Amino acid sequence: MKRYISTLKFKPVMAFLAIILMLPACEIDDIPDPNNPTVESVLVNATVDDLNNLVVGTEAGMRTFLATYYDDMGVIGREHYRFSSADPRFTADLLGKGSSVLDDNTFYTTNPWAGRYRVVKNTNILIASANNTTLISDEEREGYLGFAETIKAHQLLLNLTMMYEPGIRLDVDDPDNLGPFVEREAALDSIALLLDEGAGHIAAAGEEFPFTLSEGFEGFNDPAGFLQFNRALAARVAVYREEFGEALTLLEGSFLDLSTDFNKGVYYTFSASSGDLLNPVFVAPNSSGEIRIAHPSYISDIAPNDDRISKVLLRDEAASLDNLTGKYDVAVYKSNTDPIPIIRNEELILIYAEANIQTGNTLEAVKALNIIRQGHGVGPYVGLVTKEALIDEMLYQRRYSLYFEGHRWVDLRRYNRLDELPIDRPGDDVWTSFPKPFIEQAF
What whole-number distance in Å separates Cα of residue 328 and Cα of residue 351?
29
The reported pLDDT for the residue numbered 41 is 73
Of the listed ranges 9-13, 40-44, 228-232, the one predicted with least confidence:
9-13
Domain ranges of the chain: 11-276+338-418
Average pLDDT over residues 148-171: 97
The reported pLDDT for the residue numbered 176 is 86
Output the average pLDDT for the chain. Answer: 92
The reported pLDDT for the residue numbered 39 is 74
The CA-based dihedral angle spanning residues 46, 50, 52, 56, taken in that order and rounded to the nearest 10 degrees = -130
pLDDT tens digits, 341-366: 999 999 999 999 999 999 999 999 99
Q: Is 328 helix (H, G, I), strand (E, B) or coil?
A: strand
Asked if residues 161 and 410 have their Cβ atoms less than 8 Å apart, the reply is: yes
The reported pLDDT for the residue numbered 171 is 96
Q: Does residue 5 surpass a pLDDT of 90?
A: no
pLDDT tens digits, 115-142: 999 999 999 999 999 999 999 999 999 9
The reported pLDDT for the residue numbered 443 is 53
The reported pLDDT for the residue numbered 16 is 41
Asked if residues 252 and 308 have their Cβ atoms less than 8 Å apart, the reply is: no
Neighbours of 338 (CB within 10 A): 15
Sign of torsion, CA 151 155 156 161? positive
What whole-number distance in Å separates Cα of residue 238 and Cα of residue 252?
13
pLDDT tens digits, 83-112: 999 999 999 999 999 999 999 999 999 999
Name the CATH architecture for the domain at 11-276+338-418: Alpha Horseshoe (1.25)
Q: Does residue 27 surpass a pLDDT of 50?
A: no
Percent of the chain with pLDDT over 70: 91
Average pLDDT over residues 290-314: 98
Among candidates 259, 258, 255, 239, which has minimal Cα distance to 247? 239
Among candidates 106, 105, 121, which has minimal Cα distance to 23? 121
What whole-number distance in Å separates Cα of residue 383 and Cα of residue 362?
12
Asked if residues 400 and 301 have their Cβ atoms less than 8 Å apart, the reply is: no
**Start-to-end Cα distance in the chain:** 32
What whole-number distance in Å separates Cα of residue 190 and Cα of residue 181?
12
Average pLDDT over residues 420-424: 97
What whole-number distance in Å separates Cα of residue 20 and Cα of residue 114?
10
CA distances from 102 to 33, 36, 96, 295, 429 (A): 36, 38, 8, 20, 10
Q: Does residue 267 surpass a pLDDT of 80?
A: yes
pLDDT band at residue 38 under the 50/70/90 scheme: low
pLDDT band at residue 338 under the 50/70/90 scheme: very high
Sign of torsion, CA 32 35 41 47? negative
The phi and psi torsions of 349 (rounded to 5 degrees) equal: -60, -40
The reported pLDDT for the residue numbered 442 is 60
Asked if residues 9 and 273 have their Cβ atoms less than 8 Å apart, the reply is: yes
Asked if residues 327 and 315 have their Cβ atoms less than 8 Å apart, the reply is: yes
Percent of the chain with pLDDT over 90: 88
Average pLDDT over residues 168-180: 93
> What letter does residue 117 receive in the DSSP assignment?
H
The reported pLDDT for the residue numbered 233 is 99
Q: Does residue 35 surpass a pLDDT of 70?
A: no
Task: Give the DSSP per-residue string, 125-182.
Answer: HHHHHHHT-SSS-HHHHHHHHHHHHHHHHHHHHHHHHHHSSS-EE---S-TTSPPPEE
406 Ramachandran zone, left/alpha/beta (phi>0; psi -120 to 50):
left
pLDDT tens digits, 188-242: 999 999 999 999 999 999 999 999 999 999 999 999 999 999 999 999 999 999 9
The reported pLDDT for the residue numbered 97 is 98
